[in-house]
């Protein structure tokens, strides 16, 4: 039995659900985190001592950190699908942009998202929002420039490397903030909308 612990409006859980569907993997999802709690309970902390979602359970194997889970699913179940590239340099590019999502894109826009969607209005810090939006306006053009030359992050075809990036792009493009014109990013988003799993798990509004 494959189980995924986490709530559906978590960007990191979205990655795992999207990856499972692209790979045709069945799973049971268990609500955890946010209003559902559970993450500080002994059962959960035994799986992930950080108390964070998502967590993957698969036949006695437990894994946390969303990008690591996506990589594992691709390695273990990607087969000949091409979703997790076998060629070293193509895989390295997928890895590169997955890490960019977590360390650069999410670090830039994440503070604004938390303030706007996870913080009560009377406790929001407008300075944090402003700095975060300004930083995102510096960061996302880097991806836009890359996508001018390549339709997907690792080259000509969709890979699991596009999953973390695609989640971040959707959130950035749909937050009620000022953004620079990013036509290649918008075109990339439109290509992702042709993927049913993206529509089901990511393109569901920002909350």
101-146 confidence digits (pLDDT tens): 999 999 999 999 999 999 999 999 999 999 999 999 999 999 999 9
Angle between helical axes of 162-174 and 106-117 (0-180°, round to 10): 50
**Rounded to an integer, what distance in angstroms lies between the CA atom of residue 187 and that of residue 58?**
36
> Which CATH number is correct for 88-200, 3.40.50.2000, 3.90.700.10, 1.20.1050.10, 1.10.230.10?
1.20.1050.10
Q: What is the pTM of this model?
A: 0.96
Q: Among 15-24, 41-50, 76-85, whose mean pLDDT is lowest? A: 76-85
3-state helix, strand, coil in the chain (%, to 5): 60, 10, 35
The pLDDT value given to residue 40: 97
**Rounded to an integer, what distance in angstroms lies between the CA atom of residue 68 and that of residue 62?**
11
Burial (Cβ within 10 Å: 0-12, 13-18, ≥19) of residue 17: buried
CB 145 within 8 A of CB 184: yes
185 — pLDDT class (breaks 50, 70, 90): very high
CATH number for the domain whose boundaries are 2-77: 3.40.30.10
The pLDDT value given to residue 207: 83
Mean pLDDT of the chain: 97
Among candidate residues 199, 171, 153, the one with its CA nearest the CA of residue 18: 199
CB 128 within 8 A of CB 177: no
**3-state SS assignment for residue 63:** strand
The pLDDT value given to residue 149: 97
The pLDDT value given to residue 102: 96
Q: Summarize the confidence of residues 22-29 as an average pLDDT.
A: 97
**Rounded to an integer, what distance in angstroms lies between the CA atom of residue 204 and that of residue 198?**
9
Instruction: Give the pairing type, strands 28-30 and 55-58.
Output: unpaired
The order of strands in the sheet holding 2-5 is 28-30, 2-5, 55-58, 61-64
What is the tens place of the pLDDT at every residue in 162-181? Answer: 999 999 999 999 999 999 99
Statement: residue 80 has pLDDT above 90: no
Statement: residue 1 has pLDDT above 90: no
Q: Which residue intervals of the chain bear CATH 1.20.1050.10?
A: 88-200
Q: Summarize the confidence of residues 178-199 as an average pLDDT.
A: 98
How far CA 20 is from CA of 48, 113, 186, in Å, comes to 20, 25, 25
Statement: residue 205 has pLDDT above 90: no
Q: Which residue intervals of the chain bear CATH 3.40.30.10?
A: 2-77
């Amino acid at each position: 039995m494959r189980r995924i612990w986490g709530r559906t409006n978590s960007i990191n859980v979205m990655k795992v659900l999207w990856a499972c569907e692209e790979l045709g993997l069945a799973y049971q999802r268990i609500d955890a985190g946010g209003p559902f709690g559970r993450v500080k309970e002994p059962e959960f902390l035994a799986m992930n001592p950080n108390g964070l979602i998502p967590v993957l359970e698969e036949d006695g194997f437990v894994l946390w950190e969303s990008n690591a889970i996506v990589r594992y699913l691709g390695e273990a179940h990607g087969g000949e699908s091409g979703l997790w590239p076998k060629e070293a340099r193509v895989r390295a590019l997928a890895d590169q942009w997955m890490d960019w999502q977590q360390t650069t894109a999410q670090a830039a826009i994440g503070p604004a998202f938390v303030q706007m969607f996870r913080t009560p209005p009377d406790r929001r810090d407008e300075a944090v929002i402003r700095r975060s939006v300004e930083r995102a306006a510096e960061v996302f053009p880097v991806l836009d420039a890359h996508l001018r030359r390549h339709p997907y992050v690792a080259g000509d075809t969709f890979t699991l490397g596009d999953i973390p990036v695609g989640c971040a792009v959707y959130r950035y493009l749909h937050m009620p903030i000022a953004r620079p014109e990013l036509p290649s990013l918008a075109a990339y988003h439109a290509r992702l909308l042709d993927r049913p799993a993206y529509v089901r798990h990511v393109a569901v509004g920002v909350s």
